[in-house]
Amino acid sequence: MKRILTYGTFDLLHYGHIRLLKRAKELGDYLIVALSTDEFNAIKGKKAYHDYETRKKMLEAIRYVDLIIPENNWEQKRNDVIEYKVDTVVMGSDWENNENFECLKDICEVTYLPRTEGVSTTKIKKDLGLQEQENNVNQIPTPSK
C-alpha cells in the first residue's frame, strides 16, 4: 500500500483544496492529512476562520481523505513520515524548495502539485473584503458627522 501525506490548514475549504486532495490520493492508496492546529497556526501568524475540530470534520467528509492527524509544529514532519510509513509527501507548488519539505527527500519522495489557478483562501478573503476587515480589526472607528 502506497501512503501519501500532505499538510495544511484547510480553512474556508474550496475547490483548490478538493482538487489537491484528489490529485494527492491518485498518487497512492491511502491519504493522510496533517491538519494545522489552532496553536500551530498562531505560531505561524495565521488566523483561521474555523477552529481545528470544525476543519477536521470538514476534511473527514471528503472521500479522498483516509486519516487526519494534528500538525503541531514544523519539526514533526520527519517523525510523521516514519511513524505513518509514508511513501510520498505531497504539497502545493507554492511550497517548492521550502526546507521544511526538501529535508524529507532522504526518507521519502516529495512531490509538488501545481496550484489550482484563480482560487486560494487569501483570494477568497480579499474578494469578500475579509482580508481588509482582518487587517483593520484593531483600528478605532472614526465617528461619522
Cα 66 to Cα 24, 32, 33, 61, 140, distances in angstroms? 12, 6, 8, 10, 46
Give me 22's grid cell. 484528489
- Between CA 17 and CA 38, with CA 42 as vertex, the angle to 5 degrees is 60
DSSP structure class, residue 86: -
Q: Write out the catalytic residue numbers.
A: 44, 46
